Amino acid sequence: MLNDSEAKDVFRHLISMFMGLIKFKHYTKNIAIVRNHKCSTTTMLSYVAQALWNADPKEEQYYQNFQNERPGVYNKARQFDEYKEDLLDADLRIALWRDPIEKFVSGFHHTMSNPANKNLWIKTPSLLNFVKDIDVYRQNPNVADHCETNTARLGKDKSIYTHIYNYKQVHKIAELLGVPALDTHHRKDNTMRAGPTDLQKLRIKQVMLEDYVNGWC
């Protein structure tokens, strides 16, 4: 257990960092959780923080305090093949996934709402234009991370995981770690607002095709 000062240091820059795998020992078990963007990972990380450092999840910025200088908590690799071996070495291997269309659209809204992306747009910002030019937009690391497939983070083989949860089941991780689950009912999921249209869904399915091939859907 870390002291309060260490916990604050460890927690400071989490969301802005590229962390592919959260791995830690909890009691007698080595636990690995893949950080799959737009799949309740902020909530998941708060549960890890409570379990490891007794961090207060009610603090508005509690999730920003992980530091990559803290060894043994996570793997900084961003691609599945880079942290696969580390994942397979864990006793409990946990995947959070999301419907591919919902995941992509959520990533689009994240991109739209990020002030850092105001100069990103090569056309009038719209979901359809975003899908059409996704190969260009994905050259931006922030877009690439938030609009990638489940497969990119979780791999092709679902059987390697001991626990698989839809992002709406993130409370299961709290139960697994023995910490209180957060009341997330106040968080409105506006992912499907104003669409997507049937044409947009078709285009998104083409972009996220490997998720349908590998069963992450």
Q: So what's the pLDDT on residue 87?
A: 95
Question: Measuring CA to CA, how many Å separate 30 from each of 69, 72, 99, 162, 164?
Answer: 20, 11, 28, 12, 16
φ/ψ of residue 12, rounded to 5: -75, -35
Cα 29 from chain centre? 22
Which residues have C-beta within 8 Å of that of residue 39, sequence separation ≥ 6? 96, 97, 98, 103, 150, 167, 170
User: What DSSP string describes 62-119?
Assistant: GGG-B-TTSTTSEE---SHHHHHHHHHTSSEEEEEE--HHHHHHHHHHHHHH-GGGTT
Q: Do 195 and 127 contact (CB within 8 A), yes or no?
A: yes
Q: Which two tokens stand for residue 78?
A: 């961003």
pLDDT category at 10 given cuts 50, 70, 90 is very low
**11-67 confidence digits (pLDDT tens):** 433 444 457 888 888 999 999 999 999 999 888 988 988 888 777 766 645 555 555
- Domain positions in the chain: 4-214
> What is the C-alpha to C-alpha distance for residues 37 and 155, in angstroms, rounded to an integer?
14
Q: Do 2 and 71 contact (CB within 8 A), yes or no?
A: no
Beta bridge partners of 29: 26
Smallest CA-to-CA distance from 127 within 40, 190, 214 is with: 190
**Rounded to the nearest 10 degrees, how much is the dihedral formed by the CA atoms of 131, 136, 142, 143?**
10
> Mean pLDDT, to the nearest integer, of 142-162?
93
**90-149 confidence digits (pLDDT tens):** 999 999 999 999 999 999 998 888 777 777 777 777 898 899 889 888 888 778 888 999
**190-217 confidence digits (pLDDT tens):** 444 666 999 999 999 999 999 999 999 9
Q: Which two tokens stand for residue 120?
A: 């990103």
* pLDDT at residue 165 greater than cutoff 90: yes
pTM above threshold 0.85:
no
Q: Do 10 and 67 contact (CB within 8 A), yes or no?
A: yes
* pLDDT at residue 189 greater than cutoff 90: no
**56-96 confidence digits (pLDDT tens):** 766 645 555 555 435 456 666 778 999 999 999 999 999 99
Name the DSSP letter for residue 123: S
Q: So what's the pLDDT on residue 75?
A: 61
> What is the C-alpha to C-alpha distance for residues 7 and 2, in angstroms, rounded to an integer?
6
Q: Which two tokens stand for residue 44?
A: 């998941």
